[in-house]
Structure 1
Amino acid sequence: MMATSKPFRALIFCSLVLLLGLLASSSAFAAGLRYTIAVSQFENRSNWSGQYQLGDAYGAVLTDVLNQSGKYIVLGEKDMRSDAASESGQAGSAAQLLVKGVITHVQNTSNSGGGISFGGVLFGGAQSESEINVTMYIVDTASGRVLASKSIVGKSSGGGVLIGGGGAVFGTQHKDNMGKAVENAIAQSVVWMDQQLPAIKWSGLVVLNENGSIYINRGSREGVSVGQRLIVGQTRVLRDPISKEVLDETLSEIATLEVTTVKEKLSICSVVSGLADGIETGMKVLQP
C-alpha cells in the first residue's frame, strides 16, 4: 500500500466526520455482538489513474470508517490476505465476513463558463462532475458464499476557476471532486452494509474440544459475555459441481453451549445439552 498523501488523509478525515453520525443510529447488531470482518483491496477496472491508487484508497477509507465506528472488529492487512484465501471454504478464518469489490467505472466531466480576458489571459468559471461506480460483495469466509451484493454510484459536482492562455489551460475544476465522489460512494456502502446485517447470523468457529471444554474463536472484542448461550453444529455446504457456486448451507445442531470464560479473542464454553464428544474443531457456532 502506497504512502498516504495530504489529500488522501483529508479524504479519510472528512469521511469519518460525515459517516460516524450515520453509523451511530444503526440497530443491526444483535445482542451487543460485533461482526469480525476484513476489507479486501478493491480491484480497479476503470483504468482511472490520479494522485492516489483508487482501489487502495477506497478499501483503506472504508476500513478506517468501519473500524472507527466501534461496531465491527476490522482485521489488519495481513489478516485481509489470509481471509481472501479462505473464500475457497477453508475453516478457521479469523473473520466471519469479507468485504470486497470492484470499481467498474470512473468519469470526470467539466464545462467552462463565461470569463474575461486580461493581458491575453482568460479568467473564467468552470463546473465539473465526478462519478464512481462500485460493485460490492459481503462474503462468508467459511463457505465462500456471497451473502449480499450491491452496485453503488457515488457522485459529486462542484465549481472552480479556469485560467487559460497561449494554448495552456490551468484550473481547479476537478479539485477534490473525485475524492468527494469516493466519499459519497463509501457513505452509501456503509449504510448498505448496516442494512444487511439483520439477515446475517453472527457466528464463530470451534477451535478446540478439550475434554468437553469447548474453545471458540470469538471473545470480548466481539462482545461475547459469560452466561451467553450458543449452538454448535456441523455445516453442510452444497456446491455446483461445475461452477463451485454455493447452492445451499445448512447446520445440523449437535449441542447447546454456555460461555464460562471470556478472553479477548476466544471464549471457553461448557456443554449444557447435546453430545460433547461430537463437537470437532472447525464446527460453526451460532446464536440460538
Structure 2
Amino acid sequence: MPLSHPRVPSPSRLAPGLAFLCLLGLAAAPGCESVAAYNPFESEGTRVDDKPDAEQLAEDGDALPPYAGVKHAIGVVDFDNRSNWAGWRTYSMDRNFPLMFESALFDTGRFVLVERENLADVVLEQDLADSGRTAAATEVAQTGKLRPARYLATGEVTGVEGNQSGQDGGIGFRGFRVGGGQSNAQINLIVKLVDTTSGAIVAKESITGKAGSSKLRVGMNRFGVNTNMGSFAKTPMSEAVQDALNQAARFIALQMEELPNTGLVVSEINGQVVINRGSDHNLKAGGTYALVEPGVEITDPGTGEILGTTEGAELGEIRIVRVAEKMSYAEVVGGGDLPATGTIVRLSR
C-alpha cells in the first residue's frame, strides 16, 4: 500500500520567492519539503505517492464514471502529423506521442495495453485494408481468431497554435524552471478507434488540448536521460499535448463501454474450461459469462468489405472458479458438455 503523507502546500501555493529559495536549498521553512516531492504532471494539491491514477484523472477534469467491468485489450499505433509543428521532429513525437497516449489510456484503469511489437500483424492487416486490398485483409480478420487486440487507437495531429517553445520568462536552475508566464499553446487532434476485425472506424472525435493558464510552474526531467522529452516537458505545448491525450483517453474509455468484449476457450483441464482472460483483464471468481457460437460475417461481394457480423447463438454459461494473471478456470453452469477450444466467451454485450 502506498505511503501517505501529511498534506503540505504545493509549490504553486508558496510565494514565488520562497519556492525558488526552496529549490536552491537556501530555505528551511515549512512547505519547502513539498517542492522536492512535487510532480509537475499532477494537478495542484496532489502528491505522486498518494493519488491513484483514476483520482488523478478526475482532478484533471477528465473524470470517468466508476467501472468494475472486464478490461478491453487495446493497442496504440502511430499518429500522423498533418500540422506544421516543427516540434514533432525535434521531440521525436513519431515515437513519443503514441507512448504518451498509451500512458493516458493505462491511467484510466480500463485497458490492457498490447505491446506495440505484438501488433505487427494487426497493423499489416490495417495497411491492407487502407490500400484497398480488403479481401486480403478479410482472410486475416476472422471472427473468433485469437488476436492481440481487437481495437486499435490512433489519430492525427491537425494543428498547433500559440507559444510552443516555453520561452516566456522565469528562472532556470539545475533542471528546474520557475516562471509565471501565461501560455496559449494549443493542439488539435482527431482520435480514432478502429475495429481490427473489420477495419472500420467505430469511433472518432476532434479534440483540442490547451496549456494551463497563468500559474507558477516547476518542471523537471522525468523522462530519463536517453530521450529528449525532458526539454519538451518544460514547454507550454507539453501541457496542451497532455490535456489532449487525457481527453482522448476519456473518449476512448467511454466509447468502449458500448463495444463487445470477448475471450476464447483455449483449453480443458481436469474437467474445467480455461479461457484466455485473467486478473489482468479484471476477471474475478464467481463471474458468469455466456458461451456463444461465432457469428456469420456479412461481406459486400462487390468490394470485399466486411459490413458486419451476425450475433452467434448462445451455447450456455460458464462460471469462473479460479483466476490467474492471464487466464481463468471455469465450470459449465448447470453441467453439460465442455465447450470446444475456440468457443467465444462473451465478456460484455
TM exceeding 0.5 = yes
Residue of structure 2 in register with 1:105 after alignment: 159
Give the Cα–Cα distance (whole angstroms) in 2 for the partners of residues 105 and 148 of structure 1: 20
Pair 55,238 (structure 1): closer, same or farther in 2 beyond 3 Å: farther
Residues 295, 309 of structure 2: 8 Å contact kept: no
Give the Cα–Cα distance (whole angstroms) in 2 for the partners of residues 86 and 268 of structure 1: 32
Pair 278,76 (structure 1): closer, same or farther in 2 beyond 3 Å: closer
Residue of structure 2 in register with 1:10 after alignment: none
Q: Which amino acid aligns with 2:311?
A: T
Q: Which amino acid aligns with 2:96?
A: A
Q: How does 1:47-196 map to 2 (within 5 A)?
A: 47-50=84-87, 51-85=90-124, 88=137, 89-90=141-142, 91-108=145-162, 129-156=184-211, 176-196=235-255
Paired residue secondary structure (2:313) = strand
Q: How does 1:7-22 map to 2 (within 5 A)?
A: 14-15=40-41, 17=43, 20=54, 21-22=56-57
Q: 1:16 Cα shift?
A: 5.5
> Which deviates further from its counterpart, 206-215 or 217-226?
206-215
Unaligned runs of 5+ in 2: 1-38, 45-52, 127-136, 165-180, 215-233
Q: 1:219 Cα shift?
A: 0.4
Q: 1:231 Cα shift?
A: 0.9
RMSD over equivalenced CA pairs, Å: 3.5
Provide the aligned length of Structure 1 versus Structure 2.
245
Which residue among 77, 80, 83 is the counterpart of 1:43?
Answer: 80
Q: 1:228 Cα shift?
A: 1.5
Q: Any runs of at least 4 consecutive aligned residues in structure 1 with deviations exceeding 6 A, and if so which?
A: none
Pair 229,81 (structure 1): closer, same or farther in 2 beyond 3 Å: same
Which residue among 295, 318, 340 is the counterpart of 1:235?
Answer: 295
Q: Which amino acid aligns with 1:235?
A: G
For normalisation by structure 1, the TM-score amounts to 0.69
Give the Cα–Cα distance (whole angstroms) in 1 for the partners of residues 91 and 315 of structure 2: 50
Give the Cα–Cα distance (whole angstroms) in 2 for the partners of residues 155 and 34 of structure 1: 29
Unaligned runs of 5+ in 1: 1-12, 111-125, 160-174
Pair 247,60 (structure 1): closer, same or farther in 2 beyond 3 Å: same
Give the Cα–Cα distance (whole angstroms) in 2 for the partners of residues 183 and 107 of structure 1: 15
> Which deviates further from its counterpart, 242-251 or 262-271?
242-251
Which residue among 57, 61, 64 is the counterpart of 1:26?
Answer: 64
